[in-house]
Every structure is written in structure tokens, then in C-alpha cells.
Amino acid sequence: MKVHKNDQVLVIRGKDKGKRGKVLHVFPDRNALTVESVNIVKRHLKQNPNLKQSGIVERPAPISASNVMVIAPSTNKPSRVGYRLVKTQEGGTARVKKVRICRTTQEELA
């Protein structure tokens, strides 16, 4: 997946279109992710001594990764994500590393 945990994203489709937030959790097998304060749903939790909260709790639900765009850190605007192969020299052996890049500014994403 091109979106990773802790990325800043912009929702481009759905009821929360236009909202920005940080990615909390990624589900690569479902091509989905949860974003803080986006797609909030109410869950009914049974009372349990191990849980802090019980009753009706609001939490973010997963949304499709195709409905978000990563925000470029330098421009603070949404951008597509690509990959670049970078050659590194480690311990006398040459290695090739795949890094994520912002398509608009061509800078590496963390």
C-alpha cells in the first residue's frame, strides 16, 4: 500500500470529503485504513472491568485507501505517491532500496 501509518491524508470521496487527518491503522489485506476524526461510527460496548469505556462509544471506522490522498509535507497539498529505487552502499555491498516519493515535488516521504 502506498499509504502508511502516521501519514497525513486528505479524504477525496465520501461523506467526509475535504477532511484531513492522520492515519491511525492500515489494513493492507482489505486495502483500507482508519483516519482520526474521519468516518466516525457509534459502537455499543458491553460493560467489562478490563475496558475503560462502556455503553455507546464513537470511534473511527476503516475507509478505502482509494478515497484518500497523501498530503505532501513541504507544500501541504494532496499529492499522488510513487516509488523510486535508491542505490546505497552498506558494508562494501551495493543495495537497492525502494522509497516512497511525492509525485509533485519528487521528495522522499518518511
| Polymer length of the chain | 110
Q: In this structure, which topology does domain 8-78 adopt according to CATH? A: SH3 type barrels. (2.30.30)
The predicted-structure confidence for 46-96, as pLDDT tens digits, reads as follows 988 887 888 999 999 999 999 999 999 999 999 999 999 999 988 889 999
Distances (CA, A) of 98 to 33, 87, 95: 22, 9, 10
Tell me: the pLDDT tens digits for 20-45?
999 999 999 999 999 999 999 999 98
